[in-house]
Structure 1
């Protein structure tokens, strides 16, 4: 099955303008932009036929071209990354069996997260899209709680049924649990990793659906699939000792750089 990875990136983010061009310093002192690190994460995934950056901004296009990425220019009215990926796929003329949305703010995404995602979608024909979830250990759960205590938008959490069908995604920490956990202790909370693998026909339909109340309240694009009765497969992935965090706020830059230093990631 042919696979396309699209990295949607926009300059005019309300919460963090110019985020794709923010520099992150690796363990060896090398400084690269967020969009380059996200592209390198995509290029490390096996079994992928093509990787493109989708943007509406010439500054991001120029930066992507500078390190050899293929760029697809999209319109400036895409409401979120999924709409931008859908537009990029249409611009490329389709022709892929699976389309992956690797959002440009997740440079720490390990290749096996996406490889497991592709395997999950292939093995479950009922699923119209798949997305990875990572069981939180106590330290990660405390980071999520700390963000909410300070009214910061941190990671997203997910709940799903016994068949791994997604039930809900939230910027709040769900399910509720008040007990303390030790740093390495597994918890019942799953961190949603912002990567999606779509069937192309489902992706193409997405921009035509109205934005529902849940998507509006949470600001989470994946809720549009649930509000329209689409089957979302949550694929549990393993960290294998790797730390994971998305760059949502300026305060996440030193956090991610510290994680890269600890893991020896250049």
Structure 2
């Protein structure tokens, strides 16, 4: 089984402009994602997919591989599909390792690929982790619920389930990691945008609304996603406290 990792990385952002090039210690956000992805040992090839020459040049400078994709693509998964189509190589599985997770763990990446290596042959996989209580009401933190077999039922920016009886419940945060069987990735860009996707502004809901099955594995290790200036400040604090 040949596995490709694509790191989609864009410069424009309504919440934090240019975040892939922001520095955390002596490495940029995108370089940290690259280093963690390569170090996981799960991939035959790793590439950054971007529509911005500044990111492309930066990746080349630190010794990574980058590819320019169209600036008309709507989301990360479409960028991953375009990159996979542009590369030489017969890949069975293609992973989307989001470029805003500089501390993504080896455990999370291995959990993402495990269902394929276990012979389950899923259409898509993703990863969740326990939700920190202070992020419960944060709309930038995506939540996930699954069925009894670990298949994703829904993703939301709101806390799910609502839990009006305040029962004990292990809430899950969704990490922006996806892996696709190659035919499912080819299919994804052909799917029309869907009502729930538009309402939540979450591309993975398009897959669910069109009937694709997404297997979610839970990783115990946490991470800091960088979506806002506050997230970047938290990440800088973590680096100062842990890498000094």
Q: Same fold (TM over 0.5)?
A: yes
Q: Of the candidates 17, 25, 36, which is equivalent to residue 31 of structure 2?
A: 36
Q: CA deviation at 1:179?
A: 8.7
Structure 2 vs 1, CA of residues 93 and 265 (structure 1 numbering), >3 Å: closer, same or farther?
same
Q: Secondary structure at the match of 1:163?
A: coil
Once residues 180 and 163 of structure 1 are traced to their aligned partners in structure 2, the CA distance between those partners, rounded to angstroms, is 24
Any residues of structure 2 matched to 1:37-116 within 5 Å, and which?
Answer: 37-116=32-111
RMSD: 2.0
Unmatched 5+ residue regions in structure 1?
26-30, 148-152
1:191-213 deviation per Cα after TM superposition (whole angstroms, max 9, x unaligned): 10110111011011111110001
SS of aligned partner of 2:136 = helix
The 5 Å alignment of 1:110-125 reads 110-123=105-118, 125=120
**CA, structure 1 residues 124+163, in 2 after alignment: closer, same or farther (shift >3 Å)?**
farther
Q: In structure 1, what is the Cα distance between the partners aligned to 2:165 and 2:226?
A: 27
- Are residues 252 and 124 of structure 1, via their aligned partners in 2, closer, same or farther at CA, if it must alter by over 3 Å? same
Aligned to 2:220: 238
- Deviation of 1:131 after TM superposition, in Å, equals 0.3
* 2-structure distance, mates of 1:51, 1:96: 12
Q: CA deviation at 1:260?
A: 3.3
Aligned pairs, how many? 244
Query: How far, CA to CA, are the matches of 2:91 and 2:202 in structure 1?
Result: 25
Deviations 1:217-259 (A, max 9, x none): 11111111101000000111121xxx41200101111111223
Residue 229 of structure 2 aligns to a residue whose secondary structure is coil
Aligned to 2:153: 167
What is aligned with 1:254? 233
Quick check: 1:121–1:233 contact (8 Å CA) kept in 2? no
Q: 1:261 deviation in Å?
A: 3.9
Cα distance change of structure 1 residues 3 and 77 upon mapping to structure 2, 3 Å threshold? same
TM-score by length of 1: 0.86
Could you tell me how far 1:144 is from its partner in structure 2?
3.2
Q: Does 1:220 align with 2:202?
A: yes
Partner of 1:21: 21
CA distance in 2, matches of 1:156, 1:218: 10
Q: Is the 8 A contact 1:126 1:231 kept in 2?
A: no
Change (3 A) 1:178 1:24: farther
Moved more, 112-121 or 199-208: 112-121
| Alignment partners' CA distance in 1, 2:57 and 2:98 | 18
Q: Is the 8 A contact 1:175 1:188 kept in 2?
A: no
Whole-angstrom distance in 2 between the partners of 1:16 and 1:8: 16
Paired with 2:121 and 2:92, the residues of 1 have a C-alpha distance of 15
Contact 2:121 2:181 in 1 (8 A): no
Counterpart position of 1:150: none
Asked if the contact 1:121/1:129 (under 8 Å) is kept, the reply is: no
SS in 2 for 1:251: helix
Task: Name the structure 1 match of 2:7.
Answer: 7
Partner of 2:136: 144
Matched, 1:229 2:211: yes
